[in-house]
Amino acid sequence: MTATTDFTPDDQVPDRPHGLASALPRQARSAGRTAQPGADGGAAFDADLFRAVFRRHAAGVAVVTASGPHGPVGFTATSLTSVAVEPPLLSFGISLGSSCWPAVAEASFVGVHVLGEHQQALAALFARSGADRFGPATAWSPGPHGVPLLDGVAAWLVGRIAGRVPAGDHRIVVAEAVAGDPHGPGGPLLYHQGGFHRLPG
């Protein structure tokens, strides 16, 4: 396994409200916590424990974009997944509380951008509530089907939305790829233990 190089202190990373960067006391991270049985005898699973496990899950960082009725929208996501090749399906999870959800709920197409290691600031911008994500700091242009495409990413796809699957307080959006480019610059930007990382070397 390849080690990662941390180049962002945890306290510079915006918290992810529903998951990965939710702050846990450091003692809790290393105390070997386990699930406790619920009052009804069933499995009541501790939310902090759930988050703590996923803090150990290193993930690539993506930005999902869509064209909404009030302009472009987009958010940082680690939930991007390759689902199938025949047909070429991808998925990502989106919180129903996301400022982007109303636009994604109505959109026919989305853009998914695999960020490079040089794009930590972009990842932070697209995770910050209230930020001007498509302002002067962001180079982008309309791509296929009017989807906002970000410049300088490692790779991107545009997908036609095929379904929005209920999953608790999120929706799993499934889309079929219709355009893309894998030839952008940079090694991968990763997210692990509440911080951004890049592969060494």
Ligand X SMILES: Cc1cc2nc3c(=O)[nH]c(=O)nc-3n(C[C@H](O)[C@H](O)[C@H](O)COP(=O)(O)O)c2cc1C
For ligand X, the binding residues (CB under 6 A) are 14, 16, 20-21, 61, 75-79, 92-95, 98-99, 127, 129, 191
What does DSSP say about strands 62-68 and 140-142: parallel, antiparallel, or unpaired?
unpaired
In this structure, are strands 59-60 and 43-44 parallel, antiparallel, or unpaired? unpaired
Min separation Cβ 101 and ligand X, Å: 8
Please, is 29 exposed, middle or buried when counting C-beta atoms within 10 Å of its C-beta (0-12, 13-18, 19+)?
middle
Q: Which is nearer to ligand X, 67 or 95 (CB)?
A: 95
Q: How far is the CB of 109 from ligand X (least distance, A)?
A: 18
**Least Cβ distance, residue 191 to ligand X (angstroms):** 4
By beta-carbon proximity to ligand X, the closer residue of 21 and 52 is 21
Residue 28 CA, distance from chain mean position: 25
Residue at 7: amino acid letter = F
Paired with 198 in beta bridges are 5, 189
* Least Å from the CB of residue 68 to ligand X: 12
- 44 or 47: whose CB is closer to ligand X? 47
Q: Could you give the CA distance from residue 7 to residue 198 in angstroms, rounded to a whole number?
A: 7
Q: How many Cβ atoms are within 10 Å of 194's Cβ, its own excluded?
A: 20
Nearer to ligand X, 73 or 183 (CB): 73
